[in-house]
Structure 1
Amino acid sequence: MKQILQSFKTGKTELAELPTPVVKKGEVLIQTTRSLVSLGTERMLVEFGKANLITKARQQPDKVKMVLDKIKAEGLMPTLETVFNKLEQPLPLGYCNVGKVIEVGEGVIDFKIGDRVASNGQHAEFVCIPQNLVAHIPENVSDEEAVFTVIGSIGLQGIRLVNPTFGETVVVIGLGLIGLLTAQMLVANGCKVIGYDLDDTKINLAKEKGILAFNPSKGNDPVKYVVNQTNGVGADAVIITASAKSNAIISDAANMSRKRGRIVLVGVVGLNISRAEFYERELSFQVSCSYGPGRYDDDYEQKGRDYPLAFVRWTEKRNFETVLNAIASQKIQVQDLITEIVDLENYQQIYGDIGSSKSIASILKYKEDNKPDHSIIVDDKKLAVSTGNIAIIGAGNFTKMTMLPALKNTDAHLKYIVSSGGVNGTALAQKHGIAKSSTDYNEVLKDEKLDLVMITTRHNLHASMVIEALQHNKHVFVEKPLSLNLEELSTIETAYEKSKGSLMVGFNRRFSPHIEKMKDLLGSSQMNIIATMNAGSIPSNVWVHDMVVGGGRIIGEACHYMDLIVFLTGSRIKAVCMNAMDVNPKENTDNASILVKLENGSTGVINYFSNGAKSYSKERLEVYSQDRTLVMDNFIKTTGYGFKGFSKLKTKLDKGHKNQFGRLVSSANSGKGISLIPYEELINVTKASFAAIESLKSNSWVEV
């Protein structure tokens, strides 16, 4: 399928060939007929992409601080590599989509094949959208009209926050597409609407729709005009839909407001607010978030959990439906807002001069006879290899920034990369010479010439994908964790026993030259180990904290050090006890100390903390044994005390990824499987991570 993408690095906009996404649970697959170009938002993204690095940095000072902290902790070159990799990631454009449902995912009951729908889908021939972001189109609303649904909902959410009453005067600053739709809805709500903009074409359109519109560059002072039109009272409310860097707009909005007026920001403007202007009038100010309640809430958007109507009357989906009904009843008229309708293949008519475009609404038109294809050939020269073929499942940050760079100088035969949407996977396939980009994991497994499957998806998919790959007799590498619970692990064990394939978990740290040196120096002996992970805080709404999706950070990441302790001691874990800093610990924590007993009498302490300084070393390991001590600092420096002939090892940051993947590929190509870590240790460490969570809940030692 074809989709419009934009580069953050260069600002280039292209029509890319991508695999069609596979419909998932709770989603519908839509074949697009029309999509609307949001000129304001997309112009901003294109201009940001075209800016140089210094300008980009000035626009994102918070990101600059993160980069500086990373340089202090990990060094300059790894940080620069991360930054440039991030900039290379393509950005799908668009969020106003109309089309027909061609496939319905499990659990979807509101939609059927053939339904015409509006959604926040991108500029792509096929889009896969969660059901709470899709709305039915009334029969008397055309596709060209319905494509205004989502952008209209942005304005509607601003209106709901203003909460206007019949007869109030509301000012709309900026009469672009969102501003014109907002003003129309306010008129339909019984408000006196004043609007202004610098474009006379938009002013004339607004006047035709019953709005008191003017161009401030033609002699009218905005504040004086509004005060005069309200008999000296001032506006009851102001909705700012403009996009400008100036602080003058927020100042004007304050000065034109009545006592205790309301100001809502929908657009993007300078926010250097004068306390005096807001203080004297006791003004309220609020920023509107996209198209309504539910936005950016994974429970609502991705998991389909609707808010009860009695408590949240207007969600983003119900806002979609409201806008569509208003178009159907002609309370909102959008046909005269359409500047141009362009075939998708001619997209450069819109994007070529988007920076200077005077268009109000530009619509892309799609062919309706295309068929979905979940796999595309990116590099046909790489298809000739008959053995040692690899499929990478997942195209996230780990694959992009760690795995693929580590595989670069190996003999890896990369035949497939599978990603959920196809965008990131295809970009990585093009950069790293991968033969095919796909969105269908099960179809890839059916390839009899595929030998090794490497899984780097979100944690909740690991177990099921490992099981399916083993059932197809593939060799399987999976990034940690292996599974999220004992039931999944038991099923994996059953599949492993019946499979001709082999299994490896991405416990890369044991392959670091620092850890291998420590192992060589320590030999076989009892020891005490203290491991500290200065993991850094991650917002609570990020998926890794979700026990169903991510399994929490103990199962998902602290398992690395459980594996290191097993490796260094040469013994399996027999019991675990975990204590958390949380006042009321239940099962999820990222501030905890884990005590570990080993079968050979060794002991370990794993301190997993998220409340430390990011500028401090991220990882530290101390080992005490036979009057000797080893201290490893962040996989850069290892210092020995009491060892004859060894005092220090210093390298660039090396967590063992290159060594791990190099050995993995060599082993797979030799036909010997990929069991670089004993299977029993993989199972033991996974069970130990579950035991840590159980210990937290039971407040006791738990046997593994």
Structure 2
Amino acid sequence: MKQIIQDLKNGDTILEEVPAPLVKPGQVLIQTTRSLVSLGTERMLVEFGKANFLQKARQQPDKVKEVINKVKTDGLQPTINAVFNKLGQPLPLGYCNVGRVIAVGKGVEEFSVGDRVASNGHHAEYVSVPKNLVAKIPENVSDEEAAFTVIGAIGLQGIRLANPTFGETMVVIGLGLIGLITAQLLKANGCQVIGFDFDSSKVELAKSFGIHAVNPSEGIDQVAFVNNATNGVGADGVIITASNKSNEIISQSAKMSRKRGRIILVGVIGLDISRADFFEKELTFQVSCSYGPGRYDEDYEQKGLDYPLPFVRWTERRNFEAILQAIAAKSIQVEPLITERVPLDDYLKIYKDMSGNRSIASILVYPEKSSEPNRFVEISSNKFSPGKGVVGIIGAGNFTSAMILPCLKKTGAKLKFISSSAGLSGTTLAKKFGISQSTTDNLLILNDREVDLVMVTTRHNSHARLVIEALKADKHVFVEKPLALQQHELDAIVEAYLESGKTVSVGFNRRFAPLAIQMKKALGSGNTPMNVIATMNAGFIPANVWVHDMEVGGGRIIGEACHFIDLITYLSGSKVKSVCMNAMGTSPEENTDNASIMLKYENGTNAVINYFSNGSKAYSKERVEVYHQDRTLIMDNWRKLKGYGFKNFNSASSSQDKGHQNQFNLLVDAIQKGSEQIISMDELVNTTKASFAAIESLKKGQWIEVL
């Protein structure tokens, strides 16, 4: 299928060929007929892409600070690699999609194949969209009219926050696409509406809708105009839909408002607010968040958990439906807003010069298709031989892009497939790293007789299922940590492993780091007990990020602290016997990212893993101390190692290296030569059980035996 993307590195807007997505649980698969180009929002993205590195930095000063801090802790080269990797990820454009449902995911009952729907899908021939971001289109609403659903919901949410009542005077600043729809909705609500814009054609169009529209460039004072129109009272509310960096807009909005008026920001403006302007009138100011309640809520959008209507009357989807009802009832007119209709293949007529494009609404028209969507794209026609370390990768996220694929390329591994859920990220990486095929269908990888190693780099909750499927398909498996999130998953993996005769590897890369190997060498192999203190200054991650979700990410202890359980197992030469975890706070919680984990090993080793998210980013992220036979080792952030009391070792240093390259060198070599797996299955299982035991210990408040 074809999809419009923005290359953030060089600024090109591209019509890319990518595999069509499979429908996901809780989603509907839509074949697109029309999509609307939001010129204001998309122009900003395109212009950001075209900006040089200095201009990009000036636009995002907060990101520059993050980069500087990363240089201080991780070094220059890892930071440069991370920045370029981020800029190398293309951005899918568009969020106003209309089409026909061609498949319904598990758990979706509201939609059927054949339904015409509007959604926030991208500019792509096929999109898979969560059900709470999809709305059915009334029969008397055309596809072109329905393309205004999402953009209309943005304006509607701003109105809901302003809470206008019949007869009030409302001002709309900025009569672009959102502003014109907002003004019409306010008028339909029984308000007196005043609109301001510096574009005469938009002002005239607003007047045709019955709006008191004014062009300030004609010498009209906006504040005086509003005061005169309201007999000196001022506007009851102001909705700002303009995009302008000036602070003048917020100042004028305050001055034209009545005492205790409401100001709602939908657009993007300068926000250097004068306290006096707001203090004297006791004004309220609020920023509107996109389409309405539910936006950016993982439970609502991705899991399909609706808010109960009696308590949250207007959600994203209900706002979509309200806009469609308004269009159907002719309460608002959207067809006059259409400036141009452009076939998808001619997309550059819109995107080539967006800075000079004065269109209000551009509609992309998609070709009709009757055949099944293609779920793979061939990037190159490389030849492969079975049993030669041919790799299929499932997952194309940031870590795959930034770390796994650069390392694999250096190993000489034969990369045949990469699979991604939406198709775009996998295709981008396939082109960058010379992978032969990009797909959205994992079965193409699992059923391919030439692939003998499947690498799983997806979200944590899919790891166990994909490992089992790969083993049953007679493939060797590498999976990023964690191996599993629950005991029954681990049991099923072990059963599949024993039946398959294949190897399983987990991305516990720390043990393969040069400094870890140096530590193991210095400590010797006497299997005598030691004391280990490992500290992970992990950094704060917002609570709504999927890693914290126990069902999806498993929490940071199972998902990340397992790295150091395995490292200590490697250094001590023993397995975990029992675990006790204590977390910051007064009551035990099932999930935490501020905890101390105590570990007893079979050979008497005693270890403590401090996993903290409340430390300074300026401090080292990882530190390991080992105390053993009157000797001490201190490893700092995988860059420096200091030894005390050793006869033949004093110190070592390197560029930051957490062992990824060594890990993949050994993995590919083992697969190609038929060698043993790079970490024993017993240790993988023991580490995973120890991470489960840590969570159980926190809940029960006691030591947990690892059986």
Aligning the two structures, in what range does the TM-score lie when normalised by the shorter sequence?
Answer: over 0.9
Query: In 2, distance between residues paired with 1:592 and 1:162?
Result: 44
Give the corresponding residue for 1:268.
Answer: 268
Deviation per residue, 1:9-66 (Å, 9 max, x gap): 2221000000111111000000000000000000011111111111211111111111
Give the corresponding residue for 2:129.
Answer: 129
Query: In 1, distance between residues paired with 2:429 and 2:146?
Result: 35
Query: In 2, distance between residues paired with 1:372 and 1:444?
Result: 18
Query: In 1, distance between residues paired with 2:500 and 2:586?
Result: 45
Query: In 1, distance between residues paired with 2:392 and 2:585?
Result: 41
- Which letter maps to 2:381? D
After TM superposition, the structure 1 = structure 2 runs for residues 243-392 of structure 1, keeping only pairs within 5 Å, are: 243-369=243-369, 371-381=372-382, 387-392=388-393
Distance apart, 1:411 and its partner CA: 1.5
Give the corresponding residue for 1:695.
Answer: 697
Query: In 2, distance between residues paired with 1:351 and 1:584?
Result: 55
Query: In 2, distance between residues paired with 1:384 and 1:483?
Result: 31
Q: Secondary structure at the match of 1:36?
A: strand
Q: Secondary structure at the match of 2:36?
A: strand
After TM superposition, the structure 1 = structure 2 runs for residues 199-238 of structure 1, keeping only pairs within 5 Å, are: 199-238=199-238
Q: Secondary structure at the match of 1:643?
A: coil
Query: In 2, distance between residues paired with 1:623 and 1:384?
Result: 46
- Which letter maps to 1:703? E
Distance apart, 1:385 and its partner CA: 7.6
Query: In 2, distance between residues paired with 1:672 and 1:603?
Result: 32
Give the corresponding residue for 1:576.
Answer: 579
Give the corresponding residue for 2:640.
Answer: 637
Find the partner of 1:663 among 663, 666, 679: 666
Bigger drift between 554-563 and 403-412 goes to: 403-412
Give the corresponding residue for 1:435.
Answer: 436
Give the corresponding residue for 2:70.
Answer: 70
Alignment RMSD, CA only? 1.0
Query: In 2, distance between residues paired with 1:261 and 1:78?
Result: 51
Query: In 2, distance between residues paired with 1:269 and 1:678?
Result: 57
After TM superposition, the structure 1 = structure 2 runs for residues 424-503 of structure 1, keeping only pairs within 5 Å, are: 424-503=425-504
Query: In 1, distance between residues paired with 2:231 and 2:330?
Result: 32
Bigger drift between 493-502 and 379-388 goes to: 379-388
TM-score by length of 1: 0.99
TM-score by length of 2: 0.98
- Which letter maps to 1:442? L
Query: In 2, distance between residues paired with 1:448 and 1:362?
Result: 47
Kindly indicate whether the alpha-carbon contact (under 8 Å) linking 2:640 and 2:653 is maintained by their aligned counterparts in 1: yes
**Does structure 1 residue 614 correspond to structure 2 residue 617?**
yes
Give the corresponding residue for 1:686.
Answer: 688
Give the corresponding residue for 2:543.
Answer: 540
Bigger drift between 582-591 and 257-266 goes to: 582-591
Deviation per residue, 1:59-95 (Å, 9 max, x gap): 1111111111111110011101100110111000000
After TM superposition, the structure 1 = structure 2 runs for residues 104-183 of structure 1, keeping only pairs within 5 Å, are: 104-183=104-183
Distance apart, 1:383 and its partner CA: 5.4
- Which letter maps to 1:34? R
Give the corresponding residue for 2:607.
Answer: 604
Q: Secondary structure at the match of 1:588?
A: coil
Query: In 2, distance between residues paired with 1:224 and 1:646?
Result: 80
Query: In 1, distance between residues paired with 2:388 and 2:10?
Result: 38
Percentage of identical aligned residues: 66
- Which letter maps to 1:240? I
- Give ranges in structure 1 of 5+ residues lacking alignment: none
Query: In 2, distance between residues paired with 1:383 and 1:226?
Result: 73
Kindly indicate whether the alpha-carbon contact (under 8 Å) linking 1:474 and 1:500 is maintained by their aligned counterparts in 2: no
Query: In 2, distance between residues paired with 1:136 and 1:269?
Result: 34
**Does structure 1 residue 419 correspond to structure 2 residue 420?**
yes
- Give ranges in structure 2 of 5+ residues lacking alignment: none
Q: Secondary structure at the match of 2:269?
A: coil
- Which letter maps to 1:560? H
Kindly indicate whether the alpha-carbon contact (under 8 Å) linking 1:411 and 1:666 is maintained by their aligned counterparts in 2: no
Kindly indicate whether the alpha-carbon contact (under 8 Å) linking 2:553 and 2:559 is maintained by their aligned counterparts in 1: yes
Query: In 2, distance between residues paired with 1:669 and 1:421?
Result: 31
Kindly indicate whether the alpha-carbon contact (under 8 Å) linking 1:31 and 1:368 is maintained by their aligned counterparts in 2: no
Distance apart, 1:406 and its partner CA: 1.2
Deviation per residue, 1:240-284 (Å, 9 max, x gap): 000001111111100000010000000001101111011111110
**Does structure 1 residue 677 correspond to structure 2 residue 659?**
no
**Does structure 1 residue 560 correspond to structure 2 residue 563?**
yes
- Which letter maps to 2:446? L
Q: Secondary structure at the match of 1:194?
A: strand
Give the corresponding residue for 2:21.
Answer: 21
Distance apart, 1:384 and its partner CA: 7.1
Question: How many corresponding residue pairs?
Answer: 703
Q: Secondary structure at the match of 1:355?
A: helix
Query: In 2, distance between residues paired with 1:520 and 1:671?
Result: 26
Kindly indicate whether the alpha-carbon contact (under 8 Å) linking 2:32 and 2:100 is maintained by their aligned counterparts in 1: yes
Bigger drift between 638-647 and 187-196 goes to: 638-647
Q: Secondary structure at the match of 2:448?
A: coil
Deviation per residue, 1:422-474 (Å, 9 max, x gap): 11111111000000001111232011111001111110000000000011110
Q: Secondary structure at the match of 1:187?
A: helix
Deviation per residue, 1:193-222 (Å, 9 max, x gap): 000111111111100101000100011111
Query: In 1, distance between residues paired with 2:255 and 2:384?
Result: 67
Q: Structure 1 residues 207 and 383, CA, compared in 2 at 3 Å: closer, same or farther? A: farther
- Which letter maps to 1:165? T
Q: Secondary structure at the match of 1:94?
A: coil
Q: Secondary structure at the match of 2:469?
A: helix
Bigger drift between 521-530 and 485-494 goes to: 521-530
Kindly indicate whether the alpha-carbon contact (under 8 Å) linking 2:589 and 2:698 is maintained by their aligned counterparts in 1: yes
- Which letter maps to 1:547? M
Give the corresponding residue for 1:90.
Answer: 90
Query: In 1, distance between residues paired with 2:230 and 2:610?
Result: 64
- Which letter maps to 2:30? I
Query: In 2, distance between residues paired with 1:122 and 1:384?
Result: 38
Find the partner of 1:649 among 644, 648, 652: 652
Kindly indicate whether the alpha-carbon contact (under 8 Å) linking 2:384 and 2:450 is maintained by their aligned counterparts in 1: no
Q: Secondary structure at the match of 2:22?
A: coil
- Which letter maps to 1:436? Q
Query: In 2, distance between residues paired with 1:656 and 1:384?
Result: 29
Deviation per residue, 1:366-418 (Å, 9 max, x gap): 01215311111012235578732101111111101111111121110000111
Deviation per residue, 1:596-622 (Å, 9 max, x gap): 000111111111111111111111111
- Which letter maps to 1:568? L
Query: In 2, distance between residues paired with 1:488 and 1:381?
Result: 36
Kindly indicate whether the alpha-carbon contact (under 8 Å) linking 2:386 and 2:451 is maintained by their aligned counterparts in 1: no
Distance apart, 1:585 and its partner CA: 2.4
Give the corresponding residue for 1:626.
Answer: 629
Query: In 1, distance between residues paired with 2:412 and 2:215?
Result: 65
Query: In 2, distance between residues paired with 1:666 and 1:107?
Result: 43
Query: In 1, distance between residues paired with 2:425 and 2:567?
Result: 32
- Which letter maps to 2:568? I
Distance apart, 1:500 and its partner CA: 2.8
Query: In 2, distance between residues paired with 1:371 and 1:97?
Result: 20
Give the corresponding residue for 2:518.
Answer: 517
Kindly indicate whether the alpha-carbon contact (under 8 Å) linking 1:559 and 1:689 is maintained by their aligned counterparts in 2: yes
Query: In 2, distance between residues paired with 1:217 and 1:66?
Result: 41
Kindly indicate whether the alpha-carbon contact (under 8 Å) linking 1:239 and 1:263 is maintained by their aligned counterparts in 2: yes
